[in-house]
Amino acid sequence: MLKKRIIFTLLYSDGYFMLSRNFRLQRVGDLNWLKKNYDFSHISFYIDELIVLDVSRRERSISRFSKVLESLTERCFVPIAAGGGVRSIEDANLLLRSGADKVVINSPLFKDRSLLKGLVKNFGRQCVIGSVDLKKVGDEYQIWIESGATCLTEPPPDLLEAMLEDAPGEIYLNSIDQDGTGQGFDLIMLDQLNDQIVSPIILAGGAGNAKHLTEALMHPRVDAVATANLLNFVGDGLMKARKFVDSSEVALAKWPDMSNYLNHLL
């Protein structure tokens, strides 16, 4: 039986890490703040993966972002995925050389299918995460790209089915409506996935507590949950959340806590 995962997402913009609510950004702290409040040599034992996304609204710089990524990976012992502004194989290569194990793409999934095909060909399907942002318009879900600025008019099931030939290894499915609300995940959104989509699903948008993580992970279509809430899970929040989920019927991987040993080495 495949183990389910808890993923922590960091949102980065112009030198700072951010909170997002319905895709409106609020500055929280810089890299020094993050390292002070999130010691990744400890947190690594309570999450299964880390995703770092450059969500800058102004022009993005992969080279600047890669330097931030290098600094984050120094004491982080879990797989890392990174993305935001990846527009070429060279961009992906730079992130992978800077400590990422996977790359995340969003708008190119629908605007530049050749990039998705090239990434899969060069790095393997397992190295690519497709990020899909959904928002309700009336009673219907729509896919939004370009940081939530542009709505695609085709139905989500049709758009998602169209990329099956070069499907990413995983799909990061994010609710713009629930984003940053702390009111729980939109599980109904999963109905936009037809049965042909077999890529593992990472569900994001709305996590406010450990109960929300557990409820989503118990859904048969959900392989992992992601939270980007820096304040709800600050301090020992991620440790407590994992212990809560682990006490349920969710099958999580078991990681021995070797943080004291690693601190001695470091």
> Which residue of the set 48, 54, 133, 223 is catalytic?
133
Whole-angstrom distance, CA of residue 56 vs CA of residue 20: 12
Amino acid in the structure at residue 150: T
Residues 6 or more apart whose CB falls under 8 angstroms from that of 251 comprise 1, 2, 3, 4
3-state secondary structure of 255: coil
Under 8 Å between Cβ of 88 and 115: yes
Whole-angstrom distance, CA of residue 45 vs CA of residue 257: 6
The Cβ-side half-sphere exposure at 182, using a 13 Å CA radius, reads 8
Per the document, the length of the chain is 266
Q: Is 48 a catalytic residue?
A: no
Structure tokens at 23: 């895709």
Q: Which residues are catalytic?
A: 133
